[in-house]
Structures are given as C-alpha cells and as structure tokens.
Amino acid sequence: MELFDVAIVGAGPSGATCAAFCAAAGLRTLVVEREKFPREKVCGDCLNPACWPVLRRLELADLGRAAPHGKLEAVEFIAIGGQRAHVNLPPGDESEIAIKRSLFDNLLFTRARELGAEIRDATVVRAIARNSSHHWMVAAGETILEAAILVGADGRNSTVARLSNLLPGPERERVALQTHIPLPRKFGNRVVLQFLPEGYSGQAPVNENELNLCLVGRPPTIASLRRWAERNFEIAADHAWRTITPLTRAPVSAVHENLFFIGDAARVVEPFTGEGIYYALRSGELAANAIVKIIRGQNRQVTLREFARAHAAMYRGRLWINRLARAAVLSPRIASLFVNAARFQPPIWRLLTAKIVRSN
Ligand SMILES: Cc1cc2nc3c(=O)[nH]c(=O)nc-3n(C[C@H](O)[C@H](O)[C@H](O)COP(=O)(O)OP(=O)(O)OC[C@H]3O[C@@H](n4cnc5c(N)ncnc54)[C@H](O)[C@@H]3O)c2cc1C
C-alpha cells in the first residue's frame, strides 16, 4: 500500500495550494480530485488583490498576469430600479482581475504537480477510515491509500466532512447559476453587481471575448432570474448553466488531530464580496505550514493551536463586511435603497469596497 505524509481531497485553490507548499517542503503529497482538470466551476472568477502575495510565494503571480483575464477598474452597483453607484477599484499590478477558473485552478494544479505532488484527477474519494497507527485509509477510485494526515479541501459540500460526521445540515436557502457568454460590446473594465427582485447577478469580463455571468436566488425564483438573464443577454433557453447550492452553511472546525479542513470545506463566505478564493489560497498555505511542522516532528498540539489561531485571524476584520453583504443580498429591495443612498454618500461605499478589495 502506498504511504503518503499528507493526502488532500480536492484540487481547487485550497487543495492545490496546500499541496504545492507541502510538496515544496519535501513531503510525500497526494491530491485526489473528482473532476478531470482543467475544469470550470460555479464562481464569479474575480481574484481579490489579497491573493497576490500567496501567488507570489507560489511563483505564480507572473503566470497569473500573463493568462487571459479581465481587468477590473471599477465596481458598479445597480439597484432594482436601475439606479447606479460606481466605485473605482485600486489600480496597479496587484489589482483585482477576473480569470476563468479553468485557467486559474489549472495554474495551481500544474504548480503543485511541478513541485512534486502526486495528483490523481478524475478520481472520487468515497470512504475514509483510521487504522491502528492513526493513519488515514482513503478509498480513492479503485485504490486504497494511506496517509499520516488528511486534508478536506473538497468544497462547500465536503465529502471528508460528511464522512467524518462534521458536515453541518444543509441550508438550501439559495442556489447559484453561472455561465460564460460572449462579452457585450462596450461592457468596460468593470464588475457589475446588480440587485433584482429575486436576488442578484454578478457580471465580470474574464477576457476580451467572454463575460462571467452569475445569478443568485432562492429555489422558487431562480428560474425567473434565469429568464431575466436570457432576455438581457440574448441567451438561448437551452443554454447550459452550471449550478451550486448551498450559498451559506455553518463553518466546520478547521483543525482536528490529524485532519484539516481548508477553503470552502471549512467556511463558506457570501460570494457577493468575491473573497472565497483568497481564503482558499491562504488557508491552504497555513495548513501546509502546520502539516510540514507536524511531519518534521514539532510539537503537534502547539502547532495545531498556532494553525487554529492563524486560521481565525485570517477571517478577523473581514467577516463583518461579508455578513453585511449577506444581510444586504438577502433583501435586494433594502440593498437597492442603499445603492440609491450611495449615489449621495459615495465615501461610505468607497470605504466598504476598500475593506473588501485590499491586499493583505
Ligand atoms: C456564485 C458564486 C460566485 C463566486 N464568486 C467568487 C469570486 O468572484 N471570487 C472569489 O474569490 N470567490 C468566489 N466564490 C467562492 C469560490 O468559488 C470558492 O470560495 C472557492 O472555489 C473555494 O475553493 P476551494 O478550493 O476551497 O473549493 P473548490 O473550488 O470548491 O474545490 C473543491 C474541489 O474538490 C473536488 N471534490 C469535491 N468532492 C470530492 C471528492 N469526494 N473526491 C475528490 N474530489 C472532490 C471538487 O471537484 C473541486 O475541484 C463564488 C462562489 C459562488 C457560489
């Protein structure tokens, strides 16, 4: 049986980042990923500037900038009645961009492999168990693998959390639809956050030809949001959309004795503020630092406590704005009143936007 220091379930931004740092430190690192890469994902495709320092440490910042992407110079909020509030985003080399997940996730995936991680994609993890030496046995596809440490990086519906009886009950309050469509003429270098009676829509150019279009609503009204999008963007009724739910769920504790949860598997944030990828990258890096220390024999309890503190600190000072955003998007009519008010109080919106779109 193959023995690994660390087995990571999921090769999204959190899993691939964790794998890259673990492999770079010389750990025998395995990643098991359900999908065949490259693959798209339900996402607004926006990279918060806070991602750049982690990408630099992965030596991926230049590759990220060289890949086709959309420049985001401003965010435009549109109220239900059509009123608009416009906020400029910080300029520069490490500004907010939009990049398709098929490209971005594949950069991370490739980097992890280059650094020595063994990646098995198109392979589903269906069962996990601990053996007598407290190692994890992971049923991945047709194979059983053994690892000292297991990482759940498998997203908001984490199989690892479910199999460990840690996954919080489903909150099927909202559902998201996402697709890429031809970029409307003169769309401009902006991300649009548009409130609609049934929910909201996010729109961002991801390259010179394509627009990322996301819709977030409740199950009974999502079909009506989709019809709105079909009318507004001339999308055929049989167009294929990607979908995901839930948009919200309670967090899972990020650290257990030899089990870590990172990215969405640990905590799902409101997509409206476009920060999930940052949390995924940074939590992947923090977990890798801790795992390397444990495998090298440093004090496990101290290391776990340090990781738990750093993981909590990553969200501190950021979560309040995410909660505010969630409260706003749950009531698009009230959010629209705020957009109207913002037209007369631009400094408040500039401040709120700056709290979200900032480098760490
Ligand atoms: C509508 C919407 C819009 C969003 N927009 C943005 C945005 O603009 N910017 C932003 O930063 N964030 C955004 N997010 C959030 C962002 O998409 C996530 O936070 C991010 O993808 C989390 O990365 P991750 O690596 O933790 O998980 P994921 O990206 O979900 O990766 C998990 C991986 O695990 C794999 N997997 C799952 N189960 C198994 C299994 N049993 N076996 C093997 N592999 C498995 C999956 O195939 C997947 O590749 C948005 C989210 C939504 C829903």
Residue 299 clears pLDDT 70, i.e. is over it: yes
DSSP code at position 278:
H
The protein residue whose alpha carbon is closest to atom 16 in ligand 1 is: 276
Per-residue pLDDT band for 272 (boundaries 50, 70, 90) equals confident
Distance of alpha carbon 1 from the chain centroid: 33
Closest CA to 192 of 208, 182, 203, 180: 203
Per-residue pLDDT band for 273 (boundaries 50, 70, 90) equals confident
Atom from ligand 1 closest to the CA of residue 13: 25
The protein residue whose alpha carbon is closest to atom 18 in ligand 1 is: 276
Our answer on whether the CB atom of 159 is closer than 6 Å to any ligand 1 atom is: yes
Average pLDDT, the chain: 92
The protein residue whose alpha carbon is closest to atom 4 in ligand 1 is: 43
Our answer on whether the CB atom of 124 is closer than 6 Å to any ligand 1 atom is: yes
Our answer on whether the CB atom of 128 is closer than 6 Å to any ligand 1 atom is: no
Ligand 1, pocket-test mutation among 194, 277, 326, most atoms within 8 A of CB: 277
Our answer on whether the CB atom of 73 is closer than 6 Å to any ligand 1 atom is: no
Our answer on whether the CB atom of 44 is closer than 6 Å to any ligand 1 atom is: yes
Mean local confidence (pLDDT), 226-240: 97
Distance CA 77, CA 10 (A): 34
The encoded tokens of residue 117 equal: 């991680």
In a domain, 196, yes or no: no
CA atoms within 13 A on the CB side of 84: 8
In a domain, 180, yes or no: no
DSSP for 100-163, written as a single string: -HHHHHHHHHHHHHHTT-EEE-S--EEEEEE-TTSPEEEEETTEEEEEEEEEE-S-TT-HHHHH
Directed axis angle between helix 332-342 and helix 346-356, to 10°? 120
Residue 358 clears pLDDT 70, i.e. is over it: no
Distance CA 210, CA 349 (A): 28
Segments forming the whole domain that contains residue 24: 3-69+99-171+249-320
In the chain, the percentage of residues whose pLDDT exceeds 90 is 77
Our answer on whether the CB atom of 33 is closer than 6 Å to any ligand 1 atom is: yes
In a domain, 244, yes or no: no
The alpha carbon of 42 and the centre of ligand 1 are apart by a number of angstroms equal to: 7
Q: What pLDDT shows up at residue 327? A: 72
Our answer on whether the CB atom of 13 is closer than 6 Å to any ligand 1 atom is: yes
Looking at the 3D structure of the chain, how many domains does it have?
1
Atom from ligand 1 closest to the CA of residue 268: 19
In a domain, 65, yes or no: yes
Question: Considering Cα of 299, then 305, then 309, then 314, what sign does the dihedral take?
Answer: positive
In a domain, 218, yes or no: no
Beta strands across the sheet bearing 46-47: 46-47, 97-98, 70-71
Q: What is the pLDDT of residues 306-344, one digit of tens each?
A: 999 999 999 887 676 667 677 767 777 777 777 777 766
Q: What is the pLDDT of residues 48-85, one digit of tens each?
A: 999 999 999 999 999 999 999 999 999 998 999 898 98
CA angle at 183 for the pair 180 and 189, rounded to the nearest 5°: 110
Q: What pLDDT shows up at residue 340? A: 75
Q: What is the value of pTM for the model shown?
A: 0.95
297 phi-psi bin (left φ>0, alpha ψ -120 to 50, beta other):
left
271 upstream amide cis, omega within 30 of 0: no
Ligand 1, pocket-test mutation among 17, 103, 124, 154, most atoms within 8 A of CB: 154
Q: What pLDDT shows up at residue 270? A: 85
Q: If DSSP codes are grouped into helix, strand and coil, which group holds residue 181?
A: strand
Scored b (16 or more CB within 10 A) or e, 304-342 reads bebbeebbeebbeebeebbebbbebbbebeebbbbbbeb
Q: What pLDDT shows up at residue 169? A: 82
The alpha carbon of 154 and the centre of ligand 1 are apart by a number of angstroms equal to: 8
In a domain, 60, yes or no: yes
Atom from ligand 1 closest to the CA of residue 158: 38
Residue 92 clears pLDDT 70, i.e. is over it: yes
Distance CA 267, CA 233 (A): 33
In the chain, the percentage of residues whose pLDDT exceeds 70 is 92
Atom from ligand 1 closest to the CA of residue 45: 8
Our answer on whether the CB atom of 177 is closer than 6 Å to any ligand 1 atom is: no
In a domain, 36, yes or no: yes
The alpha carbon of 155 and the centre of ligand 1 are apart by a number of angstroms equal to: 5
Q: What pLDDT shows up at residue 71? A: 94
Distance CA 8, CA 34 (A): 12
In a domain, 356, yes or no: no
Contact 251, 283 (CB under 8 A): no
Contact 7, 129 (CB under 8 A): no
Residue 1 clears pLDDT 80, i.e. is over it: no
Ligand 1, pocket-test mutation among 8, 18, 42, 43, most atoms within 8 A of CB: 43
Instruction: Pick the range with the lowest mean pLDDT from 6-15, 144-153, 291-300, 326-335.
Output: 326-335
CATH of the domain at 56: 3.50.50.60
Residue with the larger pLDDT of the pair 187 and 174: 187
The protein residue whose alpha carbon is closest to atom 9 in ligand 1 is: 274
Our answer on whether the CB atom of 179 is closer than 6 Å to any ligand 1 atom is: no
Q: What pLDDT shows up at residue 355? A: 60
